[in-house]
Homo-oligomer: A and B are copies of this chain.
């Protein structure tokens, strides 16, 4: 069947009438090549079908939630069994306690857990808990990193006020001097240091945390009596079966989790150490669906799969297969790729492509060949992505390299992206 997007186009027209801009947030395709579908029909394993019926090997995994494969049977079965009993009730199920116990058993720094819905809920609760715990105000925040979309952290400031981030103080990731300078500038008023496990930002190469930075951040927090907060919402369980900085021997006081915690069912969590419990006890936070039983049942089963299967090793192997294959293809077609970050959370950018016109054209060609790649956001490999899937992606990308090479001189940059890049 030839690739087409007629249904998607019609749906976008309808959406423009009843949804601001037709779509919003991180899954809006506004900044993607025009070919990218906005609306999807179904998903299974590593595959995704758009509303026109086009099938893709999906390298976005719902921007993270898909860890084990879409519709992964053991998780679906656990969720369905709970759904029949009850989901959103007048209080939680026993599963809430079991889930907290399971996380405390798996995440070495954690002695307790609180559940919520959005990643932003978890990061916001982390800063509130740190402020309640320390009686201080300042949160040290790595410039240009994403910690959610609440007024204190959203990357687009429309509708927010200076007061929303009056006590957010910025440092440079992987730069201990800038972190210590921020501590000193705050004169004893630092409640917490917020960091992602590595830098995984849009339109940029990814950068792993240096061990010295992770350890130094821990030491500075101890020295100044502040809490270390790790934002695992995007990277959690993609690098390790424990907190991502456990490999460095660094234990945060608080960690925020979300996305893949229940393989697509909606739940996020704040975890903390015994020492950080008091602040968490004092704050009042809640939500209508935070105690719903079905996502908790799904999370318990997802954690069992994380613990008992080789999902992690398989995602790494598949990620490496793709990375190596792309490296060879790029070289043979005369392109240079910057493939950064963990192979199972790849960011793929083109060298000498400042306005992203090459990367965009390449991704659009690959899309039409059945590979859903992302030209500016990190991607995700799930446990359902086989080496064969990666081979299928590589067939699409090989043709994409070839096509882009032929029309390289006629490529144009994306108009809205150009406007935004010019603003910065």
Q: Which residues of A contact B (CB under 8 A)?
A: 11, 14-15, 17-21, 23-27, 29, 37-44, 48, 51, 58, 60-66, 70-71, 76, 80, 83-94, 96-97, 100-101, 103-104, 111-114, 117-121, 124, 127-133, 137, 149-152, 154-156, 158-161, 163-164, 166-167, 233, 258-259, 264-266, 268, 272, 277, 279-293, 295, 372
Contacts and interface: CB of A to CB of B under 8 A. Distances in A.
Given A19-B113, A131-B159, 6 more contacts: A18-B112, A43-B89, A63-B288, A70-B89, A133-B159, A149-B287
Contact of A132 (B24, B94, B158): B158
A54 to B, nearest CB: 13
A200 to B, nearest CB: 14
B25 A284 contact: yes
A128 B92 contact: no
A70 B289 CA distance: 14
A124 B29 CA distance: 24
B117 A117 contact: yes
Contacts of A268: 288
Contacts of A159: 127-133, 279, 282-283
Among all A-B residue pairs, the 4 with the closest Cβ atoms: A25-B286, A132-B159, A156-B284, A128-B159
Contact of A280 (B20, B112, B132): B20
A219 B77 CA distance: 54
B94 A51 contact: yes
B117 A289 contact: yes
Contact of A97 (B18, B89, B104, B277): B18
A390 B104 CA distance: 43
Nearest to A292: B266
Contacts of A48: 86, 89-90
Nearest to A278: B20
A304 to B, nearest CB: 17
24 contacts: A18-B103, A18-B111, A20-B112, A20-B114, A25-B290, A39-B92, A39-B97, A44-B86, A51-B94, A61-B90, A62-B88, A76-B83, A87-B265, A118-B118, A118-B289, A124-B151, A128-B159, A128-B160, A154-B283, A154-B284, A156-B282, A158-B283, A163-B164, A266-B295
Contact of A264 (B88, B93, B104, B156): B88
Contacts of A60: 90
A258 B288 contact: yes
A39 B91 contact: yes
B160 A65 contact: no
Contacts of A65: 88, 288-289
Given A40-B90, A94-B51, A18 B71 contact: no
